[in-house]
């Protein structure tokens, strides 16, 4: 079995393994890359995915992080036509806030708009409307302190945005499939006399143009921790050692000695080096070519789909580059 390439975390510095010369000494070999590359799904919830990418350099891992963040497209509100706004929120602030409301529309079903001045079509645009007015429910407010009893539409939420189909969109989509992902996103607080009359136009875009087009809340990666005990640690020292690491990393056996249960979720904070009596009892390292990815989707695309779309984007970039160098 090949030795894992480790980066050791000492008290004040990082140290490379004596037998590992790092990226500078590695020559690219496609066949070896195919043999070493592994994708292992560790946890998959509705909108969250945790997976391991093994056998790649940090450059390759960072490519996928950046692609998922900024080059996988999504639909977002791009144009806001405000016909009436008598609330206390300025027009430009309101437009910005509306643009950041995530939509459930699948971007793969739409095309990029060729020209911003072109009229909206069913293939490249979704149209919405927000038309609400705050009114007083009753004139007798002497004994009322609850806004819900006093006013109608005093809080405007994303669920009040209505979809207006363009062309044949009503036969292809449903309002639940293209509208806001969450209905309880607060847009504005209002009082009697405040009114919105707004048209919203959503288009396809990418996160490198504006963050509202990013399909993810966050994408991050970190190196897999590798923790080893160099000697037995017993009693009070074992309990102190346990407190130096994240919960679940170090456990204490029935005979009162410490052992490494699961190093995966350790934060590698190096707190152990604060205590001289146990500083030499543990070796903390990270596996240089083992990346733990966390992908949190906003909901329009599933996190595994976002990763596959990022792979497709990278493939297109590579094909374009190869085409350019052949010319």
pLDDT single digits (tens) 66-125? 999 999 999 999 999 999 999 999 999 999 999 999 999 999 999 999 888 889 999 999
Mean pLDDT by 10 residues, the chain (327 residues): 79 80 68 90 94 92 96 96 96 96 95 89 95 84 70 93 94 93 94 95 95 95 95 94 94 93 90 94 93 95 96 95 88
Residues β-bridged to residue 197: 84, 131
Residues β-bridged to residue 250: 260
Would you kindly state where each structural domain of the chain is located, as residue ranges?
73-213
Radius of gyration of the chain (CA): 27
User: Tens digit of pLDDT for each residue in 216-248?
Assistant: 999 999 999 999 999 999 999 999 999 999 999
CATH superfamily placement of domain 73-213: DNA-directed RNA polymerase, insert domain (2.170.120.12)
Q: Which of 128, 131, 123, 85 is nearest to 107 (CA)?
A: 123
Can you give the pTM of this predicted structure? Answer: 0.88
Q: Is 55 exposed, middle or buried (0-12, 13-18, 19+ CB in 10 A)?
A: middle
Residue 179 structure tokens: 């509208």
Q: What is the pLDDT of residue 36?
A: 87
């Amino acid at each position: 079995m090949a030795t894992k390439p480790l980066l050791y975390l000492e008290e004040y510095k990082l140290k490379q393994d004596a037998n590992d010369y790092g990226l500078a000494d590695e020559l690219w070999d496609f066949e070896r890359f195919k043999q070493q590359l592994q994708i292992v799904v560790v946890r998959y919830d509705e909108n969250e995915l945790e997976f391991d990418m093994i056998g790649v350099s940090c450059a390759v891992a960072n490519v996928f992080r950046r692609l998922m963040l900024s080059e996988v497209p999504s639909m977002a509100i791009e144009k806001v036509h405000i016909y009436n706004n008598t609330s206390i929120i300025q027009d430009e602030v309101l437009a910005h806030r509306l643009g950041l409301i995530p939509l459930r529309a699948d971007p793969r079903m739409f095309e990029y708009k060729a020209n911003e001045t072109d009229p909206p079509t069913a293939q490249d645009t979704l149209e919405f409307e927000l038309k609400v007015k705050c009114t007083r429910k009753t004139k007798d407010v002497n004994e009322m302190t609850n806004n819900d009893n006093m006013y109608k539409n005093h809080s405007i939420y994303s669920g009040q945005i209505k979809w207006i189909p363009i062309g044949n969109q009503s036969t292809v989509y449903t309002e639940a499939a293209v509208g806001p992902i969450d209905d309880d996103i607060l847009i504005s607080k209002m009082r009697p006399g405040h009114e919105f009359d707004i048209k919203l136009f959503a288009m396809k875009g990418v996160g490198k143009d504006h963050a509202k087009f990013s399909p993810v809340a966050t994408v991050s990666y970190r190196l897999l921790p590798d923790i080893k005990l160099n000697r037995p640690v017993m009693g009070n020292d074992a309990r102190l050692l346990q407190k130096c690491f994240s919960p679940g990393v170090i456990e204490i056996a029935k005979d009162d000695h410490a052992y490494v249960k699961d190093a995966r979720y350790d934060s590698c904070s190096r707190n152990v080096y604060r205590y001289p009596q146990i500083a030499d009892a543990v070796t903390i390292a990270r596996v240089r070519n083992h990346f733990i990815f966390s992908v949190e989707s906003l909901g329009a695309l599933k996190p595994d789909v976002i990763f596959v779309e990022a792979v497709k984007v990278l493939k297109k970039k590579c094909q374009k580059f190869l085409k350019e160098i052949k010319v």
